[in-house]
Structures are given as C-alpha cells and as structure tokens.
A and B are shown apart, each in its own frame.
Chain A
C-alpha cells in the first residue's frame, strides 16, 4: 500500500507532503527528482524503483503527483488514485494549479486524509467527501487560471467551470449549471498508397455538475447509435461505437431501447461515458493529404508538394492545424510557396522538421504547399528520411463518431429551476500520420 503522497510543482518544490506509513524516508522527493533528472529527456516510465522504494508519478497540468511505496501494489490503482485526487483538488479548489494548491493546502491535506488511510484508498467521490470537509476553499484570482482550451487533455470547456463546488450559491453568484463535453481523439495511420491502415476514435463524454442535490438527469444520445463490433452495417451514415463504458452514476435501463441515459450526477467533474470505435468510421476522415515528391534529378533540390484537403462539412472548420514533415538530416534550407494567407512555415533545422501551420481551415476546402529542400550530399536514402507527415488539429463542434446529445433534461421534484446547460463537441488529433 502506498507510503507517501507528494505534490511537486514544475520546478520541483514540495507543495504538499503526506506520509501514511512512515516506512519511507522524508528525503524521497529529492531522490525522486534526482532520478528523473538523471534520465535523459525526462521520459521516466511512470513506475520505477530504486533502493527498495517504488516511485509512481503522473503529471497533471504542470504539477507532478508522486507516490512512494515499499509493497507490491497495483500500479493502476495508484495511477487512478492520483488522477482522482487531482480531479478532487480541481473540484474543490476550482482549478488545478500551483497557486491553487499553495492557497488551499489545509483543504488538500484534509482531502488526502479522507481519501487515503494508511495507504489504502477510501472513498473518492466528490459528494461523499463533502460531508467530511471542514476547510473552505480559497479561490485563485481571475486571470491566473490554467491555459487555453486544449491545454489540458480532457478539460471542461470554458473558465466558467473553473470554480469550486464548495461555497454558497449566494456568495459566488453561482447558478445551477451543468457542463457536458463530448471529446474525441483521433488516431489515424495512412500508408504510402493512401489506404487507411488504422483509424481509431477514443471518445469521452465528460460532465461537470454544479447542480444542488442529486437530481435525475436524462440524456438522450443519437437514436441511431449502434454499439459493438458485430453490429456494423454496410453503410455508415449513423453514429457507431465499438465499445463503451459508463460511470457508476449512470442507469442504463433505457439505453438499449431508446439510447437514453439516466444519470444521478455527483457534484464535480467525472467521465460519464468512455467509448472507442475503430476501423470504418461513420464519417469521412477529416483530412486527406496528397503528397508528391520529386527527387529524380539529384542535382536539383528535392521537391515536395503537399495538397491537404479538409473533408468536414463546409459548415465546420478546423483550427490550429499543424503539419509536421520530417526532412532528410542533411537538409540545409527550405523554401516554400503557399496557396493563401493565414499560413506559415517554419524549418526547424535542429529537429530536421518542417512545420506548416494553418490557423483556420474551413471544411470542404483544399490547401497546397510546395517545398523545395536543399539537401547536401543527396543519396538514395535521403528519400527514406522524408516523412511520415503528422497532423495536429482541433475540430470544434465536430465529432467523427457522429454521436450527438439529443437532449439533456433535468427532473427534480423539489426544486423547479432550469439549469444552465453547456454542451460542447470537440475532436482532437491524437496521432494522425500519413506516410509519404
């Protein structure tokens, strides 16, 4: 069972140190940081051991949560526990940041005291804990909240949600609000011949509730949603997922019939539904790339033409599109010709990388970029070093699985009020790679 729970800032300061068993020395954070620094690139596997002590660590919005233990614990349990504590801190402090932890240390100690006893995880639901909390949160000043949308992997949209679930309605002018996010991450791999080797969607419906009490919510998903690998049909015009799992607050009795989820949402943020789909997606892939490489004449520069097509409907658009092209190591300079404004190209000579950025990419349009690469000492293998191209992008209000929330209704017999409901859809690229 776990021995210590430590929260470190990104500079390695100890923000919080909780010892549960007294069998690991107090110097463990220093040893841990030392170990991490010794590893090149800072890419330590999430668990490692040194001198009989096991360190398990996870990063959450620039904070490092680290756990030490001496016993043969379940690493998943610890990682999940860390994630849960991080989201509890966020629920109670409003945001998860160095400042928030510093300001609220008595509260976070209290949380850690309740959530873990002698190294055993106890109850971690936000609601249940509320009954045991004595400290009240200190809010972080406006404007210092953590980054823009997308800075964190799975975040509830606007900063409107960045507030503590504690505190009174009056003092904060808080309304009965509920935030729902449908986030999808896309993993795509396209071969040189243009065939799709892999297309996976990782989806999550994230909910953050500020509703008072535990009202009943009904959420209607796309009626034509099909679930399961076997249940694939010839044409894919409707929503489909292969696998899905639900939060324990979800009642699925109406799901089979009418795709309606009955939810008793606990306060705070939680993953309502996680789902995966792979293979033939219900919609077109959002981007297609048509590359042409001209390297026949080795006396001239290598020429690369990238024609990129955005295949989402014209009503949608992609933002922050970044096309990364690894180029031969011997590339000395790059010149380019772009087809329109709002784009830029950067050649990172150190990383042998050309980055083509497009701020906004409307659906059903096409952009072309021509690159001329000056490569010293061209060899036949120079061509091999070119590619694969990877894409980073964000598609606001667009979902590849076609999953939709038809309605979100609230049933509460005692109070009659209309909650504020915020629903967002976003698709992110996880690993979108095209080989050329």
Chain B
C-alpha cells in the first residue's frame, strides 16, 4: 500500500468520509485520514471544512500525527481565525512538554499561525522558550520573535523580546546566535522604530566573528550579511575583520563565499587605498570567484552578475583571468551574454588580440542575439582600446562581407561609433559600407548609415543619390531615421550647395509641412531659418565639431555602483538595481548602503560617509539617499548664527540696470549704506552691486535680457577681518546667476603694500562645493583699493560631512601669506533648477514619493509670513529660488501649496505649505529622507519669504 492513493480524484461525499475517519478511535486510521487531507490541500483542493475535526486530532502523543495536524493548521488558520483559538491551549501545554522536540514544534507552529488574536497568548510561552535549556528550542524561539514581529511589531517591542533576542547574540550555541542575528537583521530592516535597530558595536562584532567559525553554512551567511553592515571605527579594525572573514572564501557553499566577498569588498574601502594589505586581499579574491564559474549555470549566472560589479569597482582582481570568461558552446544564452559583457570590461591593450579572436568566432555562431552582442562588443573594444581599433575595424569589415543581414546591420551601427571616436581615420571603408545600403532594414542601422553618408558627404561621390533614395519613403521611416536624414541632407547641402539645393528644399518641406512629429518639424524649421538667414552661421552650427564619445559609456554610474557593491550577494546585485527599486518597505535602510567616501589624498575616510543620490533610469523618484548619516548636535548654533545675521530685506525680483554702486565703497559700507539705499525702491533692485563692479557691462547685458532667475542673495558678511590677515579684508556672500553658483567676494587691501598672487582653495565640505575656476583678482591690489570678484563654483568637489553642516572652510593665499576663514553656505544655493518633481500636470510622482517617505521623516514648523503674501506671491517668490510648486489646493479656506526642491547632491525635499489668509504665520511641513537638511531648508523658506 502506498501513499499515492491519497491523490485519487475527489468523489462526492469525500469530505464526509474523511470526517468520519478523522473522528475514528483508531490512531492509524486517524493518521491516514490526516495524510489524505494534506494531500488534497497540496493539490489545491479546499479542505478547510474539516478544520475542527483535524484540530481535534492535535492532542496526541504521536509526534508524526501531531506534525501532520500542525501542517494543516498553518495552512488554514488564517481563514478560520476563531477556530484557530481552539488550538492555543494545546500549544501552551506543548511548550511545557518534557520533550524538547515538542516544545520546539509548538513554538515554531504557533508563530506560523498568522492570526492577530492569538498573539497575546503567544507571549508567555515564547518568553520561556527563549530561555529554554535546549538550544534547539532557543533557536526556534529566536525565529519566532521575527514571526511575531511580522504580525505585531508593537507587541514585540513592548514585551521586551528584542532585548531577549540581543542577549541571544552571546549564546553558547552558534545556531542560536545565527538565528538571532537573522531575526534582528530582519526586524531592523523592516521596523522604523529606533528601538528595533540592530546595534552593532565592537563587542557584538567580536561575538559574531567567534560564532562564524562554528555555525552552519546558513548561519555563516546571516552573520556575514550582518557584518557587512558594520562600519569599522578605524582601518585597523577593518583590517582585522577582513582577516577573520577571509578563510570563508574557501567554503564550498557559494552563498557563504559571495557574502564573504561582500564583507571584504566593503572592508577594503575602509582600509587605506593602495596598501599592501588591499593588494594581497585582492589576490585572494580571484580564485574563489573563478571557482564559482565552474558550478551549474544557475550559480554561474548569479556569479557573473556579481563579478560584473566587482570588475567595475576593482578591475585588478580578475585582470589575469580573462580565459574563464570565454564562452562555452553549451552555456545557456543568459550566461553567454554576461560573459561577453565582462570580457569587454576586462579588455586591455595586452589581451585585446585574444579577446578579438574570440569575438570573431562568436560572431559566426547561430544564436542571433548572441551574434549581435558579439558584433557590438567588437565595436566597444575598438572604442575602448585605441591600439586595437584598426584590427577591430578590419574584423568588422570581414563580418560585413558575410552578408548575413543582422551582422551587417549591427556592424554598421558600431562603425558609426568608431567613426565618432576616431574621426578621419577609417573613412576608406565607407565605400564598402555603401554597398550594403540596400539590405539595411532596421531603423538603427539605417540611421547610422545615413549619419555616415551625411558626415562624410564630401568624400562620397553619389551622396546625393544615396540620400535621395531614402527620401522616397520618408514618411514610412521611423522618427530616428527621419531626423537623421534631415540632418544629413542639410550637411550635404552645406558641403555641396550647388548640386543639392533641390534635395534640401524637398526634405525641409517634408519635415515641416507634411509631418506631424513636432521634433521633426522643429528641427526642420530651425535648419530652414538658419539656412535662409545666415548660411555661414548654419555651417558653424551644423558642421560643428562633435564631442568625442567616451569609451566607458556602458559603465554603471559610480554612485549606483558603490551602492550595489554593498548589495553583493543579494538580488540587487543580480538585477543591478538598488533594492529600493524592487523591494517594498526597504526604503528605511539607508545607512547600510554606503561605501565610505575617500578624499583625493587617500587618507582613510572618517566613519561619516556621504552618499550621493542614485539616478535611475525611468525612475524620477529618488531613492535611498541621505546627506549625512549621523545627526548634528550643533545644528542649533548654526540656526542661531544664521538668524543673527543682518537680514536686510533685499528686493530680488530682477536685476536692475541701475548704475553700479561706486567703486570706492568698502565692503562694510556695502552692507550698511549701500543696501539700505536700495531698500524699498519702486522697482526691485539688484542685490549684487559688488559683482557688477567687477564684471561691468557684460553682466549687465546678460542680466538685461530679463531671463535671469534670481535667487535670494544674503548680504555680504565680513569673513576675514583685516587684522587677522595682515591687512587683507575679505567679505562675501553666495549667489546663483544663470544657473551658475558664485561666491561673490570683496577684497580690500588695508595694508601699506600692494598685494598680488591671489589664490583660493576650499576644504572638503558637506556638499562638495569647490571653485570652478581660478580666482581672478586685478593685481596688484594697491593699498586702500577694493576689488570685487566673483568665483564660479562647482558642486563636484570632495565631500566630507562638516560640523555645522553648512560650514565651508576656505584658504586664501596672496603674496604675503595664506589665510584661513570659514563661512556658512546658505542652503538655497544648492537648490537646483530641475527640482520640480514630475510636472505640474503629472503629480503622481510627487504623490507617490510623498507617501513613500515614512511619516517619521516629516517635520512641521510655523514660519513667519510677515508681508502676509498670498499663495501666488509666495509660490512665485519661491520658484525664483528653485522651490517649485507642484500643486495648489484650497482646503477649508486655507491654501495648501505642495512643493519640491532638489539639492545638488540629489536629495529631494518635499514640502507642504499651509497658508492661512491674513495670518502672519503659516505652517511648513517638510518631508525628506535626509533629515539633516530640514532645519536649513526651513530657514531658507523663512529668509526667502521674509525678503520679498
């Protein structure tokens, strides 16, 4: 007799029959009946009607029967919550059983009954089991805490289970430790409450490292994953963690190996840059990674996706292992494509010959996708390794000769890129390409070919005929080809105006009159006007030199790469997307995803890591960002500093054309008299007399165009008093003009001798502000003279979290000495012009992001509205400082403005502004993932609104 009879088809009355059997007195019969029930359950039949009968079988000494009943219970309890309570008593009793197996079984099953009502009955037995003498019970209980947390997080926190769990980290049994780590990690990942966070200190780390050597392979994975989230306090500690984790690389479980690789990849970031330790460690990483590639295709695929990240971060690790990435003929296609990608990343001048020979072979294989990728790869090699370009081109020509349609098309697309990378080098092959014109039927290939013809029209005798042939079916072409054709013919016309006038007329009219595509029409009109007004200018525009294309276009964006390195050995590393893009409820885990930021000098980065935002394709919602992890205690002082500033209200609507204030005005005078005199003028007046002084008419002209978006500019402050700097007095402020950030400085020579050789440098700062050009001071600066200079600023400088956050330390040099001073950057200097989330018509993005940010990240504040401006005024005013209004609503007589702004490092701040009519205050709620910036943003609002 076999169990397969359980799977026989349901007859009528089967349930009734089973009911009878379940209530039988005979144990064997009962057991058989429960098995039948479970068999039905597995194939998806509804046997929930038998719930009470099955639960009745629960009280038994027979462990096998008990397990079967529990199996049923876990499946159906959710749909029968009231009935499930019937089982509670048995659980509680079983938790007291003398047999540890029964105790563990009870505590395991209880947690799986996901019914809120029974959770309160669970607490007492669970508490006992967490302290059970048997490790098997304890490890089961540890997991049960995670189960309970999933059902009722509050209960777990209130009942102190988290503390009990933390105690288990010191348990004598490594299995218990491993489960406690797993449970704590999950709880801290999903819980917003700070109490639930897993505290990692040196002591915990030591415990974990000790347990690592003894527990099961799965436990090792939990522990390694937890270790990878720890930020070592210095490079020595990082080094010692690395040393203790390294032996795990030899484990036969691929999961352990890869999790160890993650810990080491992160660890290396904390140990100095190019130390010997790192070099040795990198060597040790290669063999295990290569070993992974000899496993089943499933493991290979995951390994390759991870290796793809690793070679982008540290190409040295696998630079000698090119051969293992050669494609095997029996690899599944997904493995082949990944290998191809890695081969190109590893291609260098030394191994390029080998790589090319391989690629050429692949290009004649059967699988179309693979062949296309291979051809494209040859092109990428040409662009990456200049010395090999010639060989690549000749290989591509060979492939074109095969006349295999898709090979030819793919080759032409990459040859276009090669032309762009190495202009005027390989044009001799154009005639060969032209022979294949007929066979091209894919838009990409057609567009590329047309581009080539247009670009080299002067060398192709029959360029006009070729292009004309495309023109016939103009309206059937895809937009891409149409645009390319338009440009190519205009280029041709500019090169050979006499013969092609008719052609260009034709294409312009096709593009402008017969097309519905706005892009095409606009481009057509632009060309048309250019050509008719000023052909010389048209030539300069259309035939302008093109920027070279870069060789590493396919690389991941560095910040995304850094984030993904932190997610090695997780699904994120397979998809090459941060988890926030595909896992729900992960948004909170911000601090874990950061690699330390290093300064250029290579000194070990402090623990305060900064992360730039991660732009993602097709996903405007910024994810996972934070300026600076730790909180700032000095924020209060900073606020005080800013508020005590002399806030002369400065009308900023528009730069005026009024004459610049006199040259001889001192820095201080500017603040005092100069600005006061501008106050309240009928037409709003410029806020930057200083800059005008030095830039003269030019600036005026630009500003006069009236297209400037002018943000609020705080008045100048003395940053470096003369006595401290041997007679040099520096005052300044920050401003944005024409989307460029400036530091506006006034230098005054109070000394007796002329000054010259001025230069300026910034220290690392929170937002990576750095001078974008050298300091231009009219030199020498004679005694008593004042010079106003503007210094354009970039935001890509080295980043380090400052205290206070907005502090900027500056070093200024002249022929006398080097002086140091510091100033505060007004945060609105960092707002960017693309800070409008979504668009006015599409508010979904904003809404989704608002909801996505947890409520705990919302901060409310009353701010002043001294002029009692209306929403429109406020919104306009703010917009000039790049705070964008996404939506406006009127609720109960109050106006609500929903706004967004973006900082230069990609942090988004969302705001809700509640405006009470005729009230001198309004309520500002800010929501952002980076709480640190909130006080500054609040201030910025107040400043901007107060200075209407």
In-complex Cβ contact of B361 among A99, A124, A243, A388 (8 A) = A388
A90 at the interface (CB under 8 A from B): no
**B357-A123 in contact (CB<8A):** no
**B42-A105 in contact (CB<8A):** yes
A72/B35 contact (C-beta < 8 A), A79-B298, A381-B404 known: no
- Within the complex, the shortest CB–CB distance from B98 to chain A, in Å, comes to 16
A352 at the interface (CB under 8 A from B): yes
Which A residues touch B182, using CB under 8 A?
Answer: 1, 120
Cβ proximity bits A3-30 to B, threshold 8 Å, 1 near / 0 not = 0000000000011110111100010000
Cβ proximity bits A59-73 to B, threshold 8 Å, 1 near / 0 not = 000000000001111
Cβ proximity bits A123-148 to B, threshold 8 Å, 1 near / 0 not = 11100000010110010000000000
- Within the complex, the shortest CB–CB distance from B850 to chain A, in Å, comes to 20
Which A residues touch B112, using CB under 8 A?
Answer: 20, 118
**B302-A75 in contact (CB<8A):** yes
- Within the complex, the shortest CB–CB distance from B619 to chain A, in Å, comes to 15
Which A residues touch B38, using CB under 8 A?
Answer: 105-106, 109
Distance, CA A387 to CA B943, complexed state (A): 75
B752 at the interface (CB under 8 A from A): no
B517 at the interface (CB under 8 A from A): no
B117 at the interface (CB under 8 A from A): no
Which A residues touch B101, using CB under 8 A?
Answer: 132
In-complex Cβ contact of B575 among A43, A49, A200 (8 A) = A49
Those of B110-151 within 8 Å (CB) of chain A: 111-112, 114, 139-140, 143-144, 146-147, 150
Distance, CA A15 to CA B7, complexed state (A): 11
B175 at the interface (CB under 8 A from A): yes
Which B residues touch A19, using CB under 8 A?
Answer: 74-75
**B326-A197 in contact (CB<8A):** yes
Which A residues touch B866, using CB under 8 A?
Answer: none
Those of A378-431 within 8 Å (CB) of chain B: 379-381, 384-385, 388, 390, 430-431
Write the chain B residue with the least CB distance to A117: B143
A374 at the interface (CB under 8 A from B): no
Those of A343-377 within 8 Å (CB) of chain B: 351-352
A76/B254 contact (C-beta < 8 A), A120-B182, A430-B328 known: yes
**A135-B64 in contact (CB<8A):** yes
Those of B324-376 within 8 Å (CB) of chain A: 324, 326, 328-334, 357, 361, 364, 366
B579 at the interface (CB under 8 A from A): yes
- Within the complex, the shortest CB–CB distance from B372 to chain A, in Å, comes to 15
Distance, CA A104 to CA B44, complexed state (A): 18
- Within the complex, the shortest CB–CB distance from A78 to chain B, in Å, comes to 8
Write the chain B residue with the least CB distance to A435: B361
In-complex Cβ contact of A106 among B68, B257, B297 (8 A) = B68
B584 at the interface (CB under 8 A from A): yes
Stretch of B161-169, B218-226, B833-841, B882-890 contacting A (4+ beta carbons < 8 Å) = B218-226
A215 at the interface (CB under 8 A from B): no
- Within the complex, the shortest CB–CB distance from B667 to chain A, in Å, comes to 55
Which B residues touch A37, using CB under 8 A?
Answer: none
Which A residues touch B275, using CB under 8 A?
Answer: none
**A431-B328 in contact (CB<8A):** yes
Write the chain B residue with the least CB distance to A19: B75
A287 at the interface (CB under 8 A from B): no
A232 at the interface (CB under 8 A from B): no
- Within the complex, the shortest CB–CB distance from A43 to chain B, in Å, comes to 5
**A430-B366 in contact (CB<8A):** no
Distance, CA A197 to CA B146, complexed state (A): 52
B737 at the interface (CB under 8 A from A): no
A58 at the interface (CB under 8 A from B): yes
- Within the complex, the shortest CB–CB distance from B360 to chain A, in Å, comes to 9
In-complex Cβ contact of A431 among B146, B186, B222, B329 (8 A) = B329
- Within the complex, the shortest CB–CB distance from A114 to chain B, in Å, comes to 9
**A245-B250 in contact (CB<8A):** yes
In-complex Cβ contact of B583 among A72, A78, A189, A384 (8 A) = A72
Which B residues touch A380, using CB under 8 A?
Answer: 401
Distance, CA A385 to CA B403, complexed state (A): 12
Distance, CA A430 to CA B575, complexed state (A): 28
Those of B86-103 within 8 Å (CB) of chain A: 101
**A124-B216 in contact (CB<8A):** yes
Which A residues touch B71, using CB under 8 A?
Answer: 109, 113
Cβ proximity bits B420-453 to A, threshold 8 Å, 1 near / 0 not = 0000000000000000000000000000000000
Those of A231-276 within 8 Å (CB) of chain B: 242-243, 245-248, 271, 274, 276
Which A residues touch B255, using CB under 8 A?
Answer: 74, 76-81
A174 at the interface (CB under 8 A from B): no
- Within the complex, the shortest CB–CB distance from A66 to chain B, in Å, comes to 12
Write the chain B residue with the least CB distance to A23: B150
Which B residues touch A352, using CB under 8 A?
Answer: 366
Size bracket of the A interface: 35 or more
Which B residues touch A135, using CB under 8 A?
Answer: 64
Which A residues touch B39, using CB under 8 A?
Answer: 105
- Within the complex, the shortest CB–CB distance from B346 to chain A, in Å, comes to 15
Cβ proximity bits B208-230 to A, threshold 8 Å, 1 near / 0 not = 00000000111001100100000
In-complex Cβ contact of B291 among A1, A105, A122, A245 (8 A) = A245
Distance, CA A247 to CA B250, complexed state (A): 10
A291 at the interface (CB under 8 A from B): no
**A381-B296 in contact (CB<8A):** no
**B218-A70 in contact (CB<8A):** no
A52 at the interface (CB under 8 A from B): yes
Write the chain A residue with the least CB distance to B363: A384
Cβ proximity bits A192-227 to B, threshold 8 Å, 1 near / 0 not = 000001101010000000000000000000000000
Distance, CA A189 to CA B287, complexed state (A): 21
- Within the complex, the shortest CB–CB distance from B432 to chain A, in Å, comes to 14
Which B residues touch A313, using CB under 8 A?
Answer: none
Those of B713-738 within 8 Å (CB) of chain A: none
Which A residues touch B270, using CB under 8 A?
Answer: none
Write the chain B residue with the least CB distance to A135: B64
Which A residues touch B150, using CB under 8 A?
Answer: 21
**A106-B35 in contact (CB<8A):** yes
A75/B570 contact (C-beta < 8 A), A105-B38, A118-B111 known: yes
Which A residues touch B291, using CB under 8 A?
Answer: 243, 245, 274, 276
**A134-B4 in contact (CB<8A):** no
**B218-A81 in contact (CB<8A):** yes
Write the chain B residue with the least CB distance to A1: B186
Write the chain A residue with the least CB distance to B578: A72
Those of B797-824 within 8 Å (CB) of chain A: none
Cβ proximity bits B285-309 to A, threshold 8 Å, 1 near / 0 not = 0010011001011110111000000
A47 at the interface (CB under 8 A from B): yes
**B67-A110 in contact (CB<8A):** yes
Write the chain B residue with the least CB distance to A203: B294
Which B residues touch A1, using CB under 8 A?
Answer: 182, 186
Nearest 10 pairs of A and B residues by beta carbon? A431-B328, A77-B255, A134-B64, A121-B218, A381-B402, A46-B298, A76-B255, A72-B579, A202-B294, A45-B334
B-side residues, CB < 8 A to A, are: 2-4, 6-7, 35, 38-39, 42-44, 63-64, 67-68, 71, 74-75, 78, 101, 108, 111-112, 114, 139-140, 143-144, 146-147, 150, 175, 179, 182, 186, 216-218, 221-222, 225, 250-255, 257-259, 287, 290-291, 294, 296-299, 301-303, 323-324, 326, 328-334, 357, 361, 364, 366, 401-404, 567, 569-572, 574-575, 579, 582-584, 586
Apart from A15-B42, A46-B302, A72-B583, what are 9 other A-B pairs with CB-CB below 8 Å? A1-B186, A75-B569, A80-B253, A124-B218, A134-B63, A248-B252, A352-B366, A390-B330, A431-B330
Sampled A-B contacts (12; CB under 8 Å): A43-B332, A45-B301, A72-B567, A75-B302, A102-B3, A105-B42, A113-B67, A117-B140, A118-B143, A153-B296, A381-B402, A430-B328
A-side residues, CB < 8 A to B, are: 1, 14-17, 19-22, 26, 41, 43, 45-47, 49, 52, 54, 58, 70-81, 99, 102-106, 109-110, 113, 117-118, 120-125, 132, 134-135, 138, 153, 185, 187, 189, 191, 197-198, 200, 202, 242-243, 245-248, 271, 274, 276, 278, 326, 351-352, 379-381, 384-385, 388, 390, 430-431, 433, 435
